[in-house]
Amino acid sequence: MSISTTDGQPGTSEVAVRAALAAAGVTPSEAEIEGLVAGYDRVRSLADLLHAVPAARYESPGLHFDPTPVFADWG
């Protein structure tokens, strides 16, 4: 999706990108934002692919929180 629509208004993806970047508190250049719009579209298509997997409807994510305190450093 191009960074602006034919009437010069920002496209939906560009609006979403700018909002996400503002919420994250980061400051890419305008040139970078243009590239990130394409990245946004790709990420959303990937997420949509995952949300459309029927077999995952009742699957658990396998994220484990272990309340047992284990304080082991490395090195």
Partner 1 sequence: MTDIPLSITEAATQLRDGSLSSADLTAAVLQRADRLDGALGTYLARFDDRAMASAEQADADLARGLDRGPLQGIPLGIKDIIAAADGPTTANSLVLDEAWGAGRDAPVVARLRAAGAVITGKVTTMEFAIGAPDPSKPFPLPRNPWDTRTWPGGSSSGTGSGVAAGLFLGGLGTDTGGSIRLPAAFCGVSGLMPTFGRVPKSGCAPLGYSLDHIGPLARTAEDCAAMLQVLAGYHASDPDCADLPVPDYAATLGSGSLEGLRIGVHRVHEGQEGTDPAVIGAFDAAVAVLEGAGATVVEVVLPYYEEMIAADMITMVSEALAYHLPDMRSRWGDYFEATRSMVVQGAFCSGADFVQAQRVRRVAVGALASLFETVDVVATPTASVGSPAYDDSGRLPLDMGRLFGQIYTPYWDSVGNPALVVPMGFTTAGLPLSLHLGGRPWDEATVLTVGHAYQQTTDWHRQVPALVTEPVAA
Q: Which residues contribute to the site for partner 1 (CB under 8 A)?
A: 16-17, 20-21, 23-28, 32, 35-36, 39-40, 42-44, 46-47, 49-51, 53, 55-56, 59-63, 66, 70, 72-75
**Least distance from C-beta 52 to partner 1, angstroms?**
9
Kindly report the backbone phi and psi dihedral angles of residue 12, in degrees, each rounded to the nearest multiple of 5, phi listed first. -60, -45
What is each CA distance from 55 to 4, 18, 51, 52, 74, in whole angstroms? 38, 34, 10, 9, 39
**Least distance from C-beta 32 to partner 1, angstroms?**
6
Can you tell me the distance from the alpha carbon of 51 to that of 46, in angstroms, rounded to the nearest whole number? 9
Q: Which is nearer to partner 1, 7 or 59 (CB)?
A: 59
